[in-house]
A = this chain, B = another copy of it.
């Protein structure tokens, strides 16, 4: 097991022997963890559930992973490795638009697609610094596109952070699922919105019918906001601005 998930992530993510018993490898732990997280959610991903699923003692898991935190990071890497960076960079530009803009668009949409299909990986993405082969591939693609656009030095840093901050930030906020699982909490939020004081919140109350369940901080369900169209709207905003900055900086 040389080119497996854990070996890909980094040497510091696994310890001990590579092959413990027939059919049980560190990679299989990560893959099983991914399955549990995807199917049963964050709270269900426990070391004991993992060892049960693998038909092994609880302590045996720690011969294959160094800690649950690193396991979570390895799972996040596994999810993000589904982002097809190459395909995203290949796609063609709309007319009148430079190719690097199309690349940033496709990569952003692809990242969001993968994250939205794995809502339970949200808590890992939001609470750990993730620096793995999968994030490096995405970063490399985005940085390459921005360099094509003429960005360098501090402008490159800021442009990359703006793109990443919007793409990952917006998506992570969209998919956060914890509260959405409690009926009591959802009813509480609904009641709070029903009873808002028009004098205290004049703009909010007069636009509530329009914004409710479609806007951040004003919804009872997790998932895409704005009927799923706000992300694209905001992304075009970001891309348009990057294109303007690029022109000023002399890029295509």
Point out residues on A near B: beta carbons under 8 Å: 10, 12-13, 69-70, 73, 122-123, 126-132, 135-141, 143-144, 147, 153-154, 156-162, 164-166, 168-174, 176, 178-180, 182, 184-185, 187-189, 191-193, 196, 200-204, 207, 210-211, 214-220, 222, 225-226, 229-231, 233-234, 237-238, 240-242, 244-245
Cα separation A136 to B194 with both chains bound (whole Å): 12
Cα separation A140 to B204 with both chains bound (whole Å): 5
User: Is A204 within 8 A of B165, CB to CB?
Assistant: no
User: Is B215 within 8 A of A140, CB to CB?
Assistant: no
CB distance from A236 to the nearest CB of B (A): 8
User: Is A244 within 8 A of B234, CB to CB?
Assistant: no
CB distance from A147 to the nearest CB of B (A): 6
Q: Which residues of B contact A136 (CB under 8 A)?
A: 196, 200-201, 204, 217
Contact among B10, B128, B215 for A161, CB-based, below 8 A: B215
Known: A12-B184, A211-B157. A217 touches B138 (CB 8 A): yes
CB distance from A161 to the nearest CB of B (A): 4
Known: A217-B130, A226-B157. A173 touches B169 (CB 8 A): yes
User: In this complex, what residue of B is CB-closest to A188?
Assistant: B12
Q: Which residues of B contact A240 (CB under 8 A)?
A: 241, 244
User: Is B237 within 8 A of A241, CB to CB?
Assistant: yes
Known: A192-B10, A203-B147, A226-B157. A176 touches B217 (CB 8 A): no
User: Is A166 within 8 A of B170, CB to CB?
Assistant: yes
User: Is A165 within 8 A of B173, CB to CB?
Assistant: yes
User: In this complex, what residue of B is CB-closest to A128?
Assistant: B179
Q: Which residues of B contact A180 (CB under 8 A)?
A: 129
User: Is B202 within 8 A of A234, CB to CB?
Assistant: no
7 A-B pairs with least C-beta separation: A169-B169, A162-B234, A165-B170, A12-B188, A129-B179, A161-B230, A126-B126
Jot down 18 A-B pairs with beta carbons below 8 A, ordered by A: A10-B191, A10-B192, A69-B178, A69-B182, A126-B176, A127-B127, A129-B179, A129-B180, A129-B222, A130-B179, A131-B218, A131-B220, A156-B207, A157-B226, A158-B226, A161-B225, A164-B216, A169-B169
Q: Which residues of B contact A127 (CB under 8 A)?
A: 122-123, 126-127, 176, 178
Cα separation A111 to B102 with both chains bound (whole Å): 32
Cα separation A47 to B203 with both chains bound (whole Å): 38
